[in-house]
Amino acid sequence: MSKLKQKLFEKIEDWRPRTTKLLKEHGDVKIGEVTISQAIGGMRGVKSLVTDISYLDPMEGIRFRGFTIPETLEKLPKVPGREMPYVEGFFYLLLTGEIPSDEDVKDVAAEFNKRQHVPQYVFDMLRALPRDTHPMTMFSAAIVAMQRESIFVKKYNEGINKMDYWDPTYEDALNLLAKLPQIGAYIYRIKYKGDTVIPPDTSLDLGGNFAHMMGIDKPYDDVARLYFLLHSDHESGNVSAHTGHLIGSALSDVYYAISGMINGLAGPLHGLANQEVLRWIQGVHDQMGGKIPTEEEMKQFVWDTLNSGQVIPGFGHAVLRKTDPRYQAQREFCLKHLPNDPLFKYIDVLYKVVPPILVEQGKAKNPWPNVDAQSGVIQWYYGITEYEFYTVLFGIGRALGVCSNIIWDRALGYPLERPKSLTTAMLEEIVGIK
């Protein structure tokens, strides 16, 4: 058994009695109530999911296993000579709750390395798709195509004990995670780089190998590490994480669950917002004939978008009530590496202009920028101007968190998710409408 799996096994054994005790002795304790506006309005604030991988405080932002983003970046082992930590070490943290040693990181890196071979039929299938297929569709299709590889399905069909479900789920998760960077880079290269695919270099860490396969020089390896880490998890209620959990709860394997969560991430109100930010800015840019707009001109574009009934992509959030620390982390990277980039300047103008307008409009509960406002700037700067691709990068990162959650869901025996629905007539009856 690998060191990571052994450590996880010990953690699971320790954790199970806590969940069992809560259920058996305190199962009737109420943790919240549901209003009609929550039932109709997308369940905002309804406390009905449990995860220990990350927690999102509306004012503070995300903590991964109790650590803020700056703490996570500071504490995790770094790739020698680079600014950012190993993605492999970060995955160890998500899965076990502990900061890994250098030795632990090496162990996870070796695990990923030995599992990264992508079956040829995945590449053949991607090639058979029309080249103008959206990269997220290609990514989702590639993942679900590999479902035949599922070890969980094999073990389930052999009659594995429920208490052991986490084990083949872990195997599926590692097998899949190890392949995602190569699949992402492959989609990028066949779609946008004249079909010139760059084979993996197994001597590199996950982030370094991804940059290599994308064909982009340093410090893009650090961009990849930072990006995958920042996008990994945002507690359980967001569309992608929740979709992964929901599909997994039916004991569908990790391939089904991650392909499904990618489809949720592909919506413009969720992960696709990173592409939408660039599309919107490009519209502004074209209308301005390439000139950077003044604050006054930018305000007009923002109002025009709002008045035409569209949202300003990259702003607002269902839970956060302040500037997203994931936005801040990327902003700091930009200040250090690309302070004079024209697109960065655009985004900076938006940061000044949009929040007061959203406040004045009086609809959005959170006028501040989210993770997607800043992420395209960095990608664009390093040559990825094909913004349709950005959400694939989000997806590679998000898979780290969703897989960690599904492994723990299985370890703790979380059952099939099945909330109850009511009819409109029932709600009317409850409030006394005849």
Q: Which residues are catalytic?
A: 270, 317, 372
Check residue 269 for interaction with ligand CMX (CB under 6 A). Answer: yes
| Contacting range for ligand CMX; rule: CB under 6 A; set: 46-54, 256-264, 266-274, 420-428 | 266-274
Q: Which of residues 32-71 bind ligand CMX (CB under 6 A)?
A: 44
- Interface with ligand CMX by CB under 6 A: which range of 47-55, 279-287, 330-338, 369-377? 369-377
User: Shortest gap between Cβ of 138 and ligand CMX (angstroms)?
Assistant: 20
Q: Which of 206, 225, 238, 266 is nearest to 324 (CA)?
A: 238
Scanning 18-26, 197-205, 270-278, 405-413 for contacts with ligand CMX by CB under 6 A, the matching segment is 270-278
Residues between 226 and 245 with contacts to ligand CMX, criterion CB under 6 A: 238
Query: Which residue, 8 or 306, has its beta carbon nearer to ligand CMX?
Result: 306
Among positions 208, 244, 313, 355, the unique one binding ligand CMX when judged by CB under 6 A = 313
Residue 47: count of CB within 10 angstroms of its CB: 12
Which of 167, 235, 372, 409 forms a contact with ligand CMX (CB under 6 A)?
372
Spatial contact of 91 and 206, defined as CB atoms under 8 Å apart: no
- Beta carbon nearer to ligand CMX, 146 or 312: 312
The torsion angle over the Cα atoms of residues 355, 360, 362 and 366, rounded to 10 degrees, is: 10
Residue 138 interacts with ligand CMX (CB under 6 A): yes or no: no
Structure tokens, 407: 């492994």
Q: Which of 280, 267, 202, 257 is nearest to 403 (CA)?
A: 257
| Residue 51, SS3 per DSSP | coil
- Compose the 316-345 pattern: x for residues touching ligand CMX by CB under 6 A, - for all others: xxx---------------------------
Write down the least CB distance from residue 328 to ligand CMX, Å.
14
| Residue 311 vs 338, nearer CB to ligand CMX | 311
Q: Determine, following the binding rule CB under 6 A, whether residue 366 of this chain makes contact with ligand CMX.
A: yes
Classify each residue of 205-231 as buried b or exposed e, where b means 16 or more C-beta atoms within 10 Å of its C-beta.
bbbbbbbbbbebeebbbbbbbbbbbbb
Indicate which single residue of 225, 270, 398, 410 sits in contact with ligand CMX (rule: CB under 6 A): 270
Cα(245)–Cα(259) distance, rounded to whole angstroms? Answer: 12
Question: Per CB under 6 A, which region of 86-94, 105-113, 159-167, 268-276 contacts ligand CMX?
Answer: 268-276
**Is position 264 an interface residue for ligand CMX (rule: CB under 6 A)?**
no
Residues 6+ apart with CB under 8 A from 147: 153, 253, 255, 256, 259
Q: How far apart are CA 29 and CA 297, in angstroms?
A: 54
245 with 256: CB under 8 angstroms? no
Binding residue for ligand CMX (CB under 6 A) from 100, 271, 293, 395? Answer: 271
Q: Which of 43, 160, 197, 311 binds ligand CMX (CB under 6 A)?
A: 311
User: Are residues 274 and 418 in contact, defined by beta-carbon separation less than 8 angstroms?
Assistant: no
Element (H, E) at 64: strand 61-64
Under the binding rule (CB under 6 A), the answer on residue 363 touching ligand CMX is yes
CB-based contacts of 373: which residues, under 8 Å, 6+ apart? 277, 313, 314, 315, 324, 327, 347, 350, 351
The correct pick among 79, 226, 241, 371 for binding ligand CMX (CB under 6 A) is 371
Phi and psi at residue 55, in whole multiples of 5°?
-135, 135
Tell me, by CB under 6 A, how many residues bind ligand CMX. 22
Q: What is the contact surface with ligand CMX in residues (CB under 6 A)? A: 44, 238, 269-271, 273, 306, 311-318, 363-366, 370-372
